[in-house]
């Protein structure tokens, strides 16, 4: 297995119930390279949060193992958490404190939580730190939790739905902060439902479904892939065998051919130029196209 700051090997977590065993995560093997933004995609119940909690040692695996920076996540969870800043999906803060008090508390709790950096992030997110947490909206509390987590100087940042409850301006600022963390050499695990955010921010993506890892994808490679839909005046000729490793045929029938191209469009366009074209449309496949294959049963 290729090395990375995070490695899981057939990691699984099962729960017992009256109806039998339920696998929240099953046979998950992945590698997260250091210094990149790694996206986790999947609907509710896909296993994303279970995976994150297993990495942090909050849950014990039923099978397999996971490591962070060489530390076993079950047996050396304290070492793992000392290297990590974690934003849970539902961050809970001290309601009687104001924003300044929360930043003070966490900066005293761990030395790598930089109070000045957290205050700067709060300012960028337009958060009033004088306000008491109990009087903050859900979005304000999310901003405060993000300021604490992203203000921590650590190797690994784990963000579970970081842009939930935020307005568009704050969402954009959070994504920029994630990119800055990557530029500083930190690794970010970014769990989200928002495909556009993942595609614009992440270097690599893993898609989970019903507790299983069903696909991993380099976003850079994804951007090089296109879907070409061509309408042809007469039935199209057969696609040359030489293009077999370059394109995947989605549909090929009367008057239409739909194909997906990998690295280069040139061979596809060269072949199409020999056909009696009426219309041609070229569009990037995008992350939504990949995601739909595994979660909506979309063909192609």
Q: Taking the model in full, what pTM does it have? A: 0.84
Q: pLDDT tens, 28-39? A: 999 999 999 999
- Measuring CA to CA, which residue among 187, 150, 149, 185 is closest to residue 68? 187
* pLDDT (0 to 100) of residue 299: 37
Whole-angstrom distance, CA of residue 152 vs CA of residue 111: 9
> 112 pLDDT exceeds 60?
yes
> 20 pLDDT exceeds 80?
no
DSSP 235: P
Q: pLDDT tens, 265-290? A: 888 888 888 888 889 888 888 888 78
Q: pLDDT tens, 64-74? A: 999 999 999 99
Terminal-to-terminal C-alpha distance of the chain: 30
């Amino acid at each position: 297995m290729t090395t990375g700051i995070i490695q899981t090997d057939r990691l699984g977590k099962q729960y017992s119930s009256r109806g039998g065993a339920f696998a929240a995560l099953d046979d998950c093997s992945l590698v997260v390279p250091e210094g990149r933004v790694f996206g986790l995609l999947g609907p509710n119940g896909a296993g994303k949060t279970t995976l994150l909690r297993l990495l942090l040692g909050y849950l014990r695996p039923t099978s397999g193992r996971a490591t962070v920076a060489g530390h076993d996540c079950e047996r050396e969870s304290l070492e793992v958490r000392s290297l990590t800043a974690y934003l849970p999906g539902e961050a809970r803060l001290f309601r009687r404190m104001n924003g300044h008090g929360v930043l003070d508390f966490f900066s005293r709790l761990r030395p790598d939580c930089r109070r000045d950096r957290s205050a700067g992030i709060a300012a960028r997110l337009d958060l009033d730190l004088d306000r008491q947490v109990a009087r903050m909206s859900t979005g304000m509390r999310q901003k405060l939790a993000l300021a604490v987590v992203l203000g921590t100087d650590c190797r690994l940042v784990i963000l579970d739905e970081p842009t939930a409850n935020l307005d568009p301006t704050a969402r954009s600022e959070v994504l920029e902060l994630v990119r800055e963390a990557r530029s500083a050499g930190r690794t970010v695990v970014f769990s989200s439902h928002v495909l556009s955010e993942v595609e614009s921010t992440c270097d690599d993506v893993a898609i989970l479904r019903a507790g299983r890892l069903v696909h991993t994808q380099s976003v850079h490679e994804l951007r090089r892939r296109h879907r070409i839909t061509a309408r042809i005046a007469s039935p199209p000729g057969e696609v040359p065998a030489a293009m077999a490793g370059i394109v995947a045929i989605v549909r090929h029938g009367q008057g239409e051919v739909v194909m997906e191209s990998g690295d280069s469009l040139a061979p596809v366009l060269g072949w199409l130029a020999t056909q009696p074209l009426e219309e041609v449309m070229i569009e990037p496949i995008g992350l939504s196209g990949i995601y739909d294959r595994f979660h909506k049963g979309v063909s192609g």
